[in-house]
A and B are shown apart, each in its own frame.
Chain A
């Protein structure tokens, strides 16, 4: 089956500053793909390279099986992108903004926009300059969704949204993915990827540290160990062979020991700290 996103050996630098180094991964049809990493890890650089906003030095990027460089701006007929910062033309109303975005896609998205505005509780008569960050984010979500694209790319979509709207946002993603779409979700909110993504890529310092299914990552062999060794409490994630750990513990006074699968937060921190 054709990958929706295929990135091979992507390298992008900003002059002397690191961008991303030799990153490769694929996103399959129907995936809700979580893209995790701290600020400055290179997540946005990969997204912006993929969407043609910035140019990269090495590597190849394919969307829907075609090189992005040959797709050009036509790719956006099939992509809904929500940038991390939701900015629009400040003098326009929400209604005009949504109409402008739909017209640029050459589609009549009025029914879909109406449904999305109702579900996300957006007042379309307000001017963009009157909106709070959260409401601008909602408008950005609607702009990305209203033309019913095949691929959604969300960069930090839920920052500024209240918990109810975050839940509604993920219900909408689930609805579109059930209808055949694919979603790339860049975030550093672990609970979002744990609860909604089926695959996860973890970035650190411009490199891809790990890519796997959410299930595998949470059951990856790493164990969360809590024990009382020689009267000292210890709490850590252990990635090695447990037999080696048992050998290491021989001769020590083990007062108590608990070995369990770590929560995703600890897996994530483990890759960050490597």
Chain B
């Protein structure tokens, strides 16, 4: 880990991290504080959604009631945070390594005594730091929202949800980081596409029984808010696969980046 490079990368990520975490955090915060005024409507909506069959299954409304704060948090804020956090993770991971070549700064950076392996470790360290900051800011804003609302969700379920969401964000960041080791251009669109693909894979797995295995592949399978707040058994196989993919993606990134001919 190179501290100079780490500080530099963190500084470069400050603005993006603040924009994403304040956007997602404030959106969730506003949803929480307006819950009491929407509660009546939510209860009637919940009854209508429950009749929607597959759609209700896909978004977890078969397990939670949107008319309760826990159900509302799991369905509304869970979706906002799950998609927002994963998109943020993908957006910072996908060009963390490739930006040096894309911005023609590779020769400037690697003409210093930092090894490529050291740079990979340092840059992923900066990504992890940004994800921690994102999670802390969002969770803090949601917490303030609950204080203002005067109501809340079960703390254990809340922490479990955000803990698994953090692992999911790390997994998506690591996968995008590995892709970044192979490319020269910013593949932002690809990163966002990957997030949406994994999100819809989880939704399909919840609707089509023959495709339930997708729940193991998609990180949304083990970090699903509806599962956490309804105390449905967590997809442990998916979590184990997720952690294994993080390790594999980082090992791949190191090997690929060390063997790569740097574009000038």
A72 contacts which chain B residues (CB < 8 A)? 115
- Which of B8, B112, B116 neighbours the largest number of chain A CB atoms within 10 Å of its CB? B112
B103 interfacial by beta-carbon distance below 8 Å: yes
User: A87-B105, A104-B2 are known contacts. Are A76 and B262 too (CB-CB below 8 A)?
Assistant: no
Query: Pick the contact of A73 from B4, B104, B113, B259 — CB < 8 Å?
Result: B113
Q: How many A-B Cβ pairs are below 8 Å?
A: 71
Quick one: CB contact mask for B90-126 with A, threshold 8 Å, 1 for yes? 0000000000000111111111111110100000000
Interface size on A, residues (CB 8 A): 32
| Distance in Å: Cβ of A214 to nearest Cβ of chain B | 28
List chain A residues, Cβ under 8 A from B264: 44, 48, 53, 83-85
Assembly CA distance A90 to B110 (angstroms) = 17
Q: Please give me the residue from chain B that is nearest to A78 by CB atom.
A: B113
With an 8 A cutoff between CB atoms, is A116 at the interface?
A: no
The distance from the CB of A156 to the nearest CB of chain B, in whole angstroms, is 11
A10 CB to nearest chain B CB (Å):
15
Nearest-CB distance from B46 to chain A (Å)? 48
Whether B4 pairs with A100 at a CB distance below 8 angstroms is yes
Distance from A106 Cβ to chain B, minimum over Cβ atoms (Å): 7
A95 CB to nearest chain B CB (Å): 14
Task: Give B105's nearest chain A residue, CB to CB.
Answer: A87
Within the complex, the shortest CB–CB distance from B236 to chain A, in Å, comes to 41
Contact across chains for A54 and B261 when beta carbons are under 8 A apart: yes
Q: Is A272 an interface residue (CB 8 A)?
A: no
A51 at the interface (CB under 8 A from B): yes
Chain A interface residues (CB < 8 Å from chain B) = 44, 48, 51-55, 72-77, 79, 81, 83-85, 87-91, 100-101, 103-106, 140, 143-144
Q: Which 8 A-B pairs have the closest CB atoms?
A: A104-B112, A87-B104, A54-B261, A83-B107, A81-B111, A103-B4, A73-B115, A53-B262
Residues of chain B having any CB pair with chain A under 8 Å: 2, 4-5, 8, 12, 103-116, 118, 259, 261-262, 264
18 other A-B residue contacts (CB within 8 Å) besides A53-B264, A55-B261: A44-B264, A48-B264, A53-B106, A73-B114, A73-B115, A73-B116, A76-B111, A76-B112, A76-B113, A83-B111, A83-B264, A84-B264, A85-B107, A87-B103, A104-B2, A104-B4, A104-B113, A140-B108
